[in-house]
Amino acid sequence: MKKLVYLLFGVGLLLTACDLNEEPISKLGKEAIFSSESGLQTYSWSFYNALPSGNDMAYVEGTRVDFLDATSFNAFLRKGAYNSENAGGWSWTTLRNINWFIQNCEESPVEEKVKNNYLALARFWRAYFYYDKVRQFGDVPWLERALDVEDTEELMAPRDSRELVMENVWKDLEFAQQNLTLAKDGTCSQVTKWVAYAFASRIALFEGTFRKYHNLSLPTSPQTWLNRAATAAKYVMDNSGYKLHQNTQSPKLAYRDLFINTAPQTDEVMMAMIFSESLSVTHYANWIWTSQTYGSCSNFIRPFICTFLNADGTPYTDREGWEKEMFYEECQNRDARLAQIIRTPGYMREGKKALPAFDKYARLGYQPIKLCVDSTVGDEKTLNTNALSLFRYAEVLLNYAEAKAELGTLTDADWAQTVGALRARGCITGGLTTKPTKVDQYLKNTYFPNVNDPVILEVRRERGVELCLEGFRFDDIRRWACGKAMTMSWTGMYISDIDTPLDMDNDGIADVIYFTTNDKRDAALKLVPESERSKVMTRLITTDLTSSNLQAHAVAGGGYNLSWDSQEDNVRVFGKKQYLYPIPAMVMVRNPNITQNPGWENNASNDGN
């Protein structure tokens, strides 16, 4: 059953052209492919090669989001580190493979319904391809057939408008929705008609909000796209049979169930990347989120952790004295998803308490566990086999809620069916049936200063919590035109005392000492019973912290800083031009009719402007 494994390798039938003006290396015999349903199916496995790798999915948000601190971050955000000379992403191999199939499948003698099913699958993947390109570059060439080297007119054409490309993408998805025959896949590894509807809601929400918040003047309005998003999502909600996964025996573990099992939770997960130890198809989520030497040791920052609601549905920052709550206190009576996303007091691994690795990984105190399993076997090897979701019903609910909120038509019933239902699964008890009427000033001031609608603010809060680490946040921040969030300070948990033993889980035993000098560390350790000293974690911190919250990268060369030579290297930037990526320089050398995206001309770097 190798075809059910996450990548679905197929038989290697990709045509191997790497760019718009490269000659294909090989040509395939058409008859064996297009004369039968089995041939069409076999070829269609190659489309799944467009999916990211398992490791990409396990760490998709590790270095390029606003809510994580990292020891290294994506070059796109690091001042002066990214320009058209080192840009990538302008590859068309996947599209050529899809278009070649579509051209020839249209001539296939197989039954019309069968043929249309595989055309629908191909057009889904063409929409998938173009959505990725538009997110990166905006305007791109629209191509409906596989080009050869003699097609000079198309090869030397300028970019087509975003409007033309996205309207064609929408037509492809409409065809996919109407003609895909697979409605349910027990393995969650294949594209179904419901995945096509879910993807349509994702794309339409992205496009509608991007056009709205970036004031794009295009023939198809943001409202049209938002209505498309709401309609596609509602069709899934009303007809697909999917629902939010629940754990009746342990309600506070229902959310975690979605991310730790080898077999996806098929009541909610619509499509996932599937892994198998026996087939040696694994990923490295445990390794990347537990090792201090592998990856970027990403920690959540406190401003994001503060957006998790109290268990009664009120904002955490409405608590009296929240600013100075220690780790144990701030984790109490919160949205149950908090303890399923980070290590909190009470988290166990293989029968032992497992606080954040304050001395190693958890520089800011908030160590992610969402995509990890509780077993330690994969902490130093690529051994994870837990499924990684690509599409799940929760996202569809959020797409619907946001589209309706942006249109100003979200009702209390809509709220209860979407955000309210998600919060109920997080064991939140208040605010589940009626949409909010009061702006949370902390959320607004910290993340969305230009938003005054309490409903939109709360939908965004919910999206950030529910979908964190699943690959949505970078695109969300860009479509909302909130790029400056990418440069906010990396602030961690509150520390009441320096150079003294601290009990982080309220069990009466010291867990960590944040020390400023070795002498003070040694003196603090003497305050711990001798039998417990070897268990106490210790962490050097800089002496010039501006507050009692842990701060990442406070000064060059200090305890929490990146291991680069100068403070200038530590600067993260996000300017107006970074809502799109630059066109790689060589593209414009090969085709002078391709023009650069604004702000990236003349090899300009990412300088925050």
The yes-or-no verdict on residue 365 having pLDDT over 90 is yes
Q: How much is the pLDDT for 73?
A: 85
Q: Which of 302, 232, 579, 307 is nearest to 457 (CA)?
A: 307
- Say which range, 33-47, 70-84, 373-387, 419-433, has the weakest mean pLDDT: 70-84
Please state the rounded mean pLDDT for residues 414-442: 98
Tokens at 397, concatenated: 């609910």
Q: How much is the pLDDT for 20?
A: 54
Q: Which of 471, 503, 431, 493 is nearest to 306 (CA)?
A: 493
Please state the rounded mean pLDDT for residues 87-111: 96
Residue 543's pLDDT band (cuts 50, 70, 90): low
Q: How much is the pLDDT for 264?
A: 98
Q: How much is the pLDDT for 433?
A: 98
The yes-or-no verdict on residue 82 having pLDDT over 60 is yes
Write out the DSSP string of 247-292. Answer: -SS-GGGHHHHHHH-SS--TTTEEEEE--BTTTTB-B-HHHHHH-S
The yes-or-no verdict on residue 547 having pLDDT over 80 is no
The yes-or-no verdict on residue 18 having pLDDT over 50 is no
Q: DSSP letter at 601?
A: G
Q: How much is the pLDDT for 562?
A: 31
Per-residue pLDDT of 143-157, as tens digits, reads 999 999 899 999 999
Q: How much is the pLDDT for 553?
A: 56
Q: How much is the pLDDT for 171?
A: 98
Task: Determine how β-strand 549-551 pairs with β-strand 491-494.
Answer: antiparallel
* Non-local CB neighbours of 395 within 8 Å, separated by 6+ positions: 198, 202, 467, 472
Q: How much is the pLDDT for 571?
A: 81
The yes-or-no verdict on residue 437 having pLDDT over 70 is yes
pTM, 2 dp: 0.94
Q: Which of 218, 429, 399 is nearest to 310 (CA)?
A: 429
* Non-local CB neighbours of 263 within 8 Å, separated by 6+ positions: 387
Percent of the chain residues topping a pLDDT of 90:
86
Q: How much is the pLDDT for 295?
A: 87
Residue 23's pLDDT band (cuts 50, 70, 90): very low
DSSP helix/strand/coil, 51: coil
Cβ(282)–Cβ(452) below 8 Å: no
Tell me, rounded to whole angstroms, the distance of Cα 522 from its chain centroid.
42
Per-residue pLDDT of 469-500, as tens digits, reads 999 999 999 999 999 999 998 999 999 999 99
Give the whole-angstrom CA distance, residue 237 versus residue 536.
Answer: 50
Please state the rounded mean pLDDT for residues 55-81: 92
Please state the rounded mean pLDDT for residues 315-331: 98
Q: How much is the pLDDT for 5?
A: 43
Per-residue pLDDT of 202-229, as tens digits, reads 999 999 999 999 999 999 999 999 999 9
Q: How much is the pLDDT for 431?
A: 98
Residue 7's pLDDT band (cuts 50, 70, 90): very low
The yes-or-no verdict on residue 512 having pLDDT over 90 is yes
Q: How much is the pLDDT for 30?
A: 86
Residue 544's pLDDT band (cuts 50, 70, 90): low
Give the whole-angstrom CA distance, residue 271 versus residue 242.
Answer: 12
Q: How much is the pLDDT for 284?
A: 97
What does the domain layout of the chain look like in residue ranges? 393-485
Instruction: Output the average pLDDT for the chain.
Output: 92
Cβ(190)–Cβ(183) below 8 Å: no
Helix, strand, coil percentages for the chain (3-state, nearest 5): 40, 10, 50
Please state the rounded mean pLDDT for residues 6-34: 50
C-beta neighbour count of 474 within 10 angstroms: 19
The yes-or-no verdict on residue 80 having pLDDT over 90 is yes
- Neighbour-count burial for 398-417, b at 16+ CB within 10 Å, e otherwise: bbbbbbbbbeeebeeebbbb
Give the whole-angstrom CA distance, residue 144 versus residue 160.
Answer: 13
Dihedral sign of CA atoms 546, 549, 552, 557 in order: positive
Please state the rounded mean pLDDT for residues 116-125: 98
Residue 559's pLDDT band (cuts 50, 70, 90): very low
In this structure, the chain runs to a length of 609
